[in-house]
Copies of this chain bind each other. A is one copy, B any other.
Amino acid sequence: LNPRPVYFLSDFGLTDEFVGVVHAVIASRAPGVSVIDLSHLIQPHDIRTGALTLERAAPWLAGGVILAVVDPGVGTERRPVAVEASDTVLIGPDNGLLLPAAHILGHPDRAVELENRTDAPGDTFAGRDIFAPAAAAAAAGTPLDQLGAPVDPATLVELPLPGPARENRGLKTQVLWIDRFGNAQLNATPLDAGPVTHIELAGGRHPAAVVRSYGEIGDGYALVVDSYGRLAVSANQRNAARELGLTPGDEVWLGRDQ
């Protein structure tokens, strides 16, 4: 029986030793487990971006252990948890970070609260002292109910993620994510949008159609069906988000000329 891989996301950055030490803890407790980094450049304490990043990655992580640490409440009353969704285990703080991915992977079927105490010299690095040992145990095959005391999954913190809304100006959407290439992913799919001829945003109105590749865009902008099936405001080999001044949370209306 192969151990399960651990997929690891955090806001730890890559300059300090935090990420490496978490890897070391897992390697020493579960030799042979592979740890795959998803991102550690989530901005400090940005739970929403962490949750959306996990949600996007989730379809490719099924069957593994997801270790996610964006944890502004470390050392306080927020609960450290392990959540089972179908055959995947998600481990991290109960602050909304885990559930969007859990919903993609199935359903948060069962959950436990991890022991919130360690013998470490200080209480500020739960990633190392609480979450990594739990992830190592889960990857090595420890059943969920041996990781902590049962918790009602219905009590886990949900992160409100608004959907698109139909308005007179068109479909009101929100920017979820700006990727490295300047694509601005919206909270809408081609099915949500239907036919589109232009987008409207704080900076003005721009012609934009729904297309399947950057090469079809020409000199302006388009709504590309991105690799997650969502629409993204994009340009061809240019940074659309920078040009249009878009940032996460901004509103974009998808309109159709009469």
Bound together, the chains give a CA A28 to CA B24 distance in angstroms of 22
- Asked whether B36 lies within 8 Å of A23 as measured between CB atoms, the reply is yes
Kindly identify, within residues 25 to 74 of chain A, every residue whose CB is under 8 Å from any CB belonging to chain B: 25, 27-28, 31-32, 34, 36-42, 44-45, 53-54, 56-57, 60-61, 63-64, 72-74
> Counting CB contacts under 8 A, is A179 at the interface?
yes
A179 partner residues in chain B, CB cutoff 8 A: 16, 18
Of the candidates B15, B60, B239, the one whose C-beta lies within 8 Å of that of A21 is B60
Bound together, the chains give a CA A128 to CA B11 distance in angstroms of 24
- Asked whether B24 lies within 8 Å of A2 as measured between CB atoms, the reply is no
- Asked whether A214 lies within 8 Å of B74 as measured between CB atoms, the reply is yes
Give, as a whole number of angstroms, the nearest-CB distance from A227 to chain B. 3
> Counting CB contacts under 8 A, is A213 at the interface?
yes
Interface size on A, residues (CB 8 A): 70
Cβ contacts A150-186/B at 8 Å (1 or 0 each): 0000000000000000000000000001011100000
Bound together, the chains give a CA A53 to CA B225 distance in angstroms of 31
> Counting CB contacts under 8 A, is A113 at the interface?
no
Main SS of chain A's interface residues? loop
Give, as a whole number of angstroms, the nearest-CB distance from A150 to chain B. 25
Number of copies: 3
Give, as a whole number of angstroms, the nearest-CB distance from A78 to chain B. 9
> Counting CB contacts under 8 A, is A123 at the interface?
yes
Cβ contacts A100-143/B at 8 Å (1 or 0 each): 00000000000000000000111111001100000000000000
Bound together, the chains give a CA A20 to CA B37 distance in angstroms of 5
- Asked whether B60 lies within 8 Å of A25 as measured between CB atoms, the reply is yes
> Counting CB contacts under 8 A, is A207 at the interface?
no
Q: Which residue of B lies closest to A42 (CB)?
A: B15
A121 partner residues in chain B, CB cutoff 8 A: 225, 227-229
- Please give me the 3 A-B residue pairs with the lowest Cβ-Cβ distance, nearest first: A121-B229, A75-B213, A125-B227
Apart from the given pairs A17-B53, A27-B34, A44-B180, 7 other A-B contacts in the complex at a CB distance below 8 Å: A24-B64, A44-B239, A123-B212, A123-B213, A124-B213, A125-B226, A125-B227
